[in-house]
């Protein structure tokens, strides 16, 4: 069974259709990247996958359970199967890192405070932030905030993590450190990652498989190993994107 199975999914807002009739699966344990040009619907698709937005049509199955058709307790149960890291980290500025990580434990578990703190420290340790558990988000760097957001996303031990532009705004060295964290979590814990990114260096470093979205066709125009697509794709749009070739309009 696939970790995520997307069937005939259409994404948009009202009459504005961004993507239509998407079909793809994400395998258990893989690092799967959604990419494409600006405005193609990458982040909107991601938010449909984890249920923040409602699709125009189609379904999303997470570990065999349809999140698009689930309500109440059934939906809450599905949501414990995954964690989310938003583009800017979205940490709560009035809470320290330990409190940020325990927040979801308070809502979804019946653990005692001491148990929650112990588990939260384990999550922070996994991303190299245990010494900073009492720091406020404003007191740490942007890269550390991203890693803290990943620790919070892992609070309930999900099998799937959704990351929206994790490298956005980071310098190359910090971005590479974050890539290493993602790879370590994938290899050591078997977590399935679904990541929106346009950072080619990061994509080549971590992605097992990608799909490329296209704004004009409102669909998927490429799927596979990013290095193979870079070197072998016959589609000029794919070749241009992966090889960073300037468009004629910009030349």
pLDDT digits (tens, 9 = 90+) for 175-227: 999 999 999 999 999 999 999 998 999 999 999 999 999 999 999 999 999 99
What is the C-alpha to C-alpha distance for residues 188 and 186, in angstroms, rounded to an integer? 6
Residue 167 pLDDT: 87
If pLDDT is split at 50, 70 and 90, which confidence band does 249 have?
low
pLDDT at 127 over 70: yes
Residue 91 lies in a domain: yes
- Strands (DSSP E) contained in 96-235 are 160-164, 192-196, 209-214, 219-224
User: What are the b/e assignments for 38-62, b being 16+ CB within 10 Å?
Assistant: eebbbebbbbbbbbebebbebebbb
Mean per-residue pLDDT over the chain, rounded: 92
Residue 25 pLDDT: 97
Calculate mean pLDDT across residues 24-42: 95
Domain count, the chain: 1
Residue 125 lies in a domain: yes
What is the C-alpha to C-alpha distance for residues 231 and 238, in angstroms, rounded to an integer? 10
pLDDT at 251 over 50: no
Residue 161 lies in a domain: yes
pLDDT at 171 over 80: yes
Per the CB < 8 A criterion, the answer to whether 149 and 161 are in contact is no
Q: What's 176's domain CATH number?
A: 3.40.50.300
Burial class of residue 1 (count of CB atoms within 10 Å of its CB; 0-12, 13-18, 19+): exposed
Residue 248 lies in a domain: no
Residue 183 lies in a domain: yes
3-state secondary structure of 31: strand
Phi and psi of 40, rounded to 5°? -85, -10
Using the structure block, give the residue that is written with the tokens 């596979």. 224
Residue 179 lies in a domain: yes
Domain span holding position 219: 4-242
Residue 205 lies in a domain: yes
Residue 250 lies in a domain: no
């Amino acid at each position: 069974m696939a970790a995520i199975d997307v069937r005939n999914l259409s994404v948009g807002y009202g009459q504005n259709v961004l993507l239509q009739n998407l079909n793809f699966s994400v395998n258990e344990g893989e690092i799967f990247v959604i990419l494409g040009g600006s405005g193609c619907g990458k982040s909107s698709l991601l938010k449909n996958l984890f249920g923040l937005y409602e699709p125009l049509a189609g379904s999303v199955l997470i570990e065999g359970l349809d999140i698009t058709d689930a309500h109440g307790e059934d939906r809450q149960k599905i949501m414990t199967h995954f964690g989310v890291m938003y583009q800017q980290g979205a940490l709560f500025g009035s809470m320290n890192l330990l409190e940020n990580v325990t927040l979801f434990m308070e809502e979804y578990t019946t653990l005692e405070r001491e148990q929650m703190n112990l588990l939260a420290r384990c999550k922070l340790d996994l991303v190299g932030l245990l010494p900073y558990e009492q720091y406020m988000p404003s007191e740490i760097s942007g890269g550390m905030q991203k890693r803290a957001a990943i620790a919070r996303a892992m609070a309930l031990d999900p099998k799937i993590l959704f990351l929206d532009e994790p490298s956005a705004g980071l310098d190359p060295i910090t971005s590479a450190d974050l890539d290493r964290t993602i790879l370590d979590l994938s290899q050591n814990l078997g977590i399935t990652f679904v990541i929106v990114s346009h950072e080619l260096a990061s994509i080549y470093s971590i992605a097992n498989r990608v799909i490329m979205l296209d704004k004009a066709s409102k669909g998927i125009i490429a799927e596979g190993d990013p290095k193979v697509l870079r070197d072998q794709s016959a589609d000029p749009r794919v070749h241009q994107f992966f090889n960073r070739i300037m468009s004629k309009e910009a030349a």
